[in-house]
Structure 1
Amino acid sequence: MTRTFDAIIVGAGQAGPALANRLTGAGKTVAIIERHLVGGTCVNTGCKPTKTLVASAYAARLAQRGAEYGVLTGPIAIDMPTIAARARKVILDSRKGNEDWLASMPGLTLVRGHARFTAPRRLEVNGETLEAAQVFLNVGGRARIPDFPGVDEVDYLTNSTIIPLESVPEHLVVVGGSYIGLEFAQMYRRFGAKVTVVEQGPRLIQREDEDVSVEVRTFLEAEGIVVRTDACCIRLAQHPGGVAVGVDCNEGEPEVVGTHVLLAVGRQPNTDDLGLDKAGIAVDEHGYIVVDDTLATTADGVWAMGDCNGKGAFTHTAWNDYEIVAANLLDGGKRKVSERILGYALYVDPPLGRVGMSETQARKSGRPLLVSKRPMTRVGRAVEKGETHGFMKIVADAETRKILGAAILGTGGDEAIHGILDMMNADASLDTLQWAVPIHPTVSELIPTVVGDLKPA
Structure 2
Amino acid sequence: MKSIQKKYDALIIGFGKGGKTLAAFMAKQGWQVAVIERSALMYGGTCINIACIPTKSLVHSAENHVPYADAIAEKNRLVESLRKRNFDMVDQFPNATVITGTASFLSPGTVSVRLADSGEEVTIAADRIIINTGAKPVLPSIPGLNASRRVFTSTTLMEETKLPERLVIIGAGYIALEFAGMYAQFGSEVTLLSRSATFLPDEDRDIADAVQSILIAKGIRIELGALVDELVPGGDTDTIVYRQAETRTEIKATAILIAAGRQPNTEDLNLEAAGVRQDSKGYIVVDERLQTSTPNIWAIGDINGGPQFTYISLDDFRIIRSQLFDFKPHSTADRIQVAGALFITPPLSHVGLREHEAIGKGYRVKVATLPASTSTRAQLLNRPEGIFKAVVDADTNLILGCTLLCSDSSELINLVQLAMHAGLDYTVLRDTIYTHPSMSESLNDLFAKIG
Q: Same fold (TM over 0.5)?
A: yes
Aligned-partner Cα distance in 1 for 2:240–2:204:
28
Give the Å deviation of 1:251. Answer: 9.2
* SS of the residue 1:317 aligns to: helix
1:125 aligns with 2:119: no
1:26 aligns with 2:20: no
Aligned-partner Cα distance in 2 for 1:140–1:199:
25
Contact 1:178 1:204 in 2 (8 A): no
Give the Å deviation of 1:4. Answer: 0.9
Alignment TM-score, normalising by the size of structure 2: 0.93
Give the Å deviation of 1:98. Answer: 0.9
Cross-structure match for 1:63: none
* SS of the residue 2:340 aligns to: strand
Q: Which sits farther off after the overlay, 434-443 or 339-348?
A: 434-443
Q: Which runs of 5+ in 1 are unaligned?
A: 61-77
After TM superposition, the structure 1 = structure 2 runs for residues 47-196 of structure 1, keeping only pairs within 5 Å, are 47-60=52-65, 79-126=67-114, 127-155=121-149, 156-196=151-191
1:229 aligns with 2:252: no
1:427 aligns with 2:423: yes
Contact 2:69 2:163 in 1 (8 A): no
Change (3 A) 1:260 1:382: same
For 1:113, the aligned partner's letter is G
After TM superposition, the structure 1 = structure 2 runs for residues 394-413 of structure 1, keeping only pairs within 5 Å, are 394-413=390-409
Change (3 A) 1:386 1:429: same
Aligned-partner Cα distance in 2 for 1:204–1:178:
9
What stretches of structure 1 move > 6 A for 4+ residues in a row? none
| 2:410 equivalent among 414, 433, 437 | 414
Contact 1:295 1:321 in 2 (8 A): yes
Change (3 A) 1:102 1:399: same
Equivalenced residue count is 438
After TM superposition, the structure 1 = structure 2 runs for residues 322-333 of structure 1, keeping only pairs within 5 Å, are 322-333=317-328
For 2:260, the aligned partner's letter is V
Cross-structure match for 1:71: none
After TM superposition, the structure 1 = structure 2 runs for residues 302-381 of structure 1, keeping only pairs within 5 Å, are 302-340=297-335, 341-381=337-377
For 1:185, the aligned partner's letter is A
Cross-structure match for 2:118: none
Aligned-partner Cα distance in 2 for 1:310–1:134:
21
Give the Å deviation of 1:250. Answer: 4.7
| 1:218 equivalent among 206, 209, 213 | 213
Give the Å deviation of 1:235. Answer: 2.6
Give the Å deviation of 1:25. Answer: 1.5
Contact 2:228 2:240 in 1 (8 A): no
Contact 1:241 1:257 in 2 (8 A): no
- Any idea what the Cα deviations from partners look like across 1:219-250, whole Å, max 9, x if unmatched? 11111111111103443221334221122125
| 2:43 equivalent among 34, 38, 47 | 38
Aligned-partner Cα distance in 2 for 1:287–1:212:
33
Q: Which sits farther off after the overlay, 148-157 or 306-315?
A: 148-157
Contact 2:231 2:241 in 1 (8 A): yes
Alignment TM-score, normalising by the size of structure 1: 0.92
CA RMSD after TM alignment:
1.7
Q: Which runs of 5+ in 2 are unaligned?
A: 115-120
1:289 aligns with 2:284: yes
Give the Å deviation of 1:350. Answer: 0.5
Contact 2:350 2:404 in 1 (8 A): yes
| 1:4 equivalent among 7, 19, 27 | 7
Aligned-partner Cα distance in 2 for 1:277–1:404:
42
